[in-house]
Amino acid sequence: MTNTPALGLLLDIDGPIASPVTRSVAIPSILTDLVKLTAAGIPIAFITGRSADFVLEEVVAPLRAAGLDDALAGGGRMFVVCEKGAVWFAMGAEGPLPVELDATVALPEEFRSHIRSLVEERFSESMFFDEGKLAMVSVEQKTELTADEYRPLQLQYNEVAYAALIERGLGARYGERETPNAAGDIPFRLDPTIISTDVESVTLDKDRGAERAVLFFEEQGHLPRVWRSVGDSRSDYKMADYLHAAGYEVAHVDVRPADGILEKPYRVIVEGELIHDEAGAAFLAYWVAKLGL
């Protein structure tokens, strides 16, 4: 792809692409519009806390079924950053390239094993241990529970997981609480979402994922000046923060503005009354129409 693309996209998955209810891509136009944009040379990166296994199964496989391979064969570019920057892979015309891992940010295996056993023994009716995570240690709400049923159990789990970090001298942060390790450092944090809790390196976040994606696209060809980031949490704004600081023209699309729209030096967009994947679908459809695809 030698021409400069009109647009670049950094997309969170849960919320704008995958339904937070079904945990899958539930709106067919999202898939077809992503393929159209890729075929038009728009560099698209998914920046997610999800595992590579989840993305490959729930996003990549249906995109390939919708024609992604042909779009990439024509010069399209797609990149996937998982676990907020700890894991990543590129997409090629014949499928995904090998998954890569930054092992320096991974939790110790003993802690991972402890949390797996803890969930099996105490929280198996409400959540499950995410075996797909390579660097983080994550648990997720079972879909049989409502958000109201899950929330108090999640809070219980968070306390136990935080205590397990401290008992092992790992150094951690949870909300306003901080307990340094023996060296005085705090290398890990608990990061709860509406459907999960991640234990992760403090160096991981959406801005790190954005940087990794932009560097990849830069190696592949010309970069657009105009970018849009799309997400449903306050941390997703960090994608746009990185792009703005790097000098790009960026706006962030917030698909869950009820959590509070942040004050930023760039434009923040909402899709009217639409939220989650309905807002994501509307956003993609707008750009497909705008670019005449």
Return the pLDDT at 1: 45
- What rounded mean pLDDT belongs to the chain? 96
Alpha carbons within 13 A on the beta-carbon side of 102 = 18
Q: What is the DSSP string of the chain?
A: --SPPS-EEEE-SBTTTB-TTTSS---HHHHHHHHHHHHTT--EEEE-SS-HHHHIIIIIHHHHHTTHHHHHHTT--EEEEEGGGTEEEEEETTEEPPPEE-GGGPPPHHHHHHHHHHHHHHSTTTEEE-TT-SSSEEEEE-TTS-HHHHHHHHHHHHHHHHHHHHHTT--EEETTEEE--TTS---EEEEE-SSEEEEEETT-SHHHHHHHHHHHHHHHSPPPSEEEEEESSGGGHHHHHHHHHTT-EEEEEES-GGG-PPP-SSEEE--TT--HHHHHHHHHHHHHHHTT-
Tokens of 265: 């030096």
Q: Which domains does the chain have, with CATH numbers?
A: 8-102+205-291 (3.40.50.1000), 109-201 (no CATH)
Tokens of 147: 């958000």
Alpha carbon distance 61, 65 (integer Å): 6
User: Which residue numbers in the chain have pLDDT < 50?
Assistant: 1
Neighbours of 292 (CB within 10 A): 6
Return the pLDDT at 127: 97
Closest Cα to residue 49, out of 174, 182, 264, 233? 233
- pTM for this model (two decimals): 0.91
Return the pLDDT at 227: 98
Summarize pLDDT for 218-250 with one digit per residue, the tens. 999 899 999 999 999 999 999 999 999 999 999
Summarize pLDDT for 74-99 with one digit per residue, the tens. 999 999 999 999 999 999 999 999 99
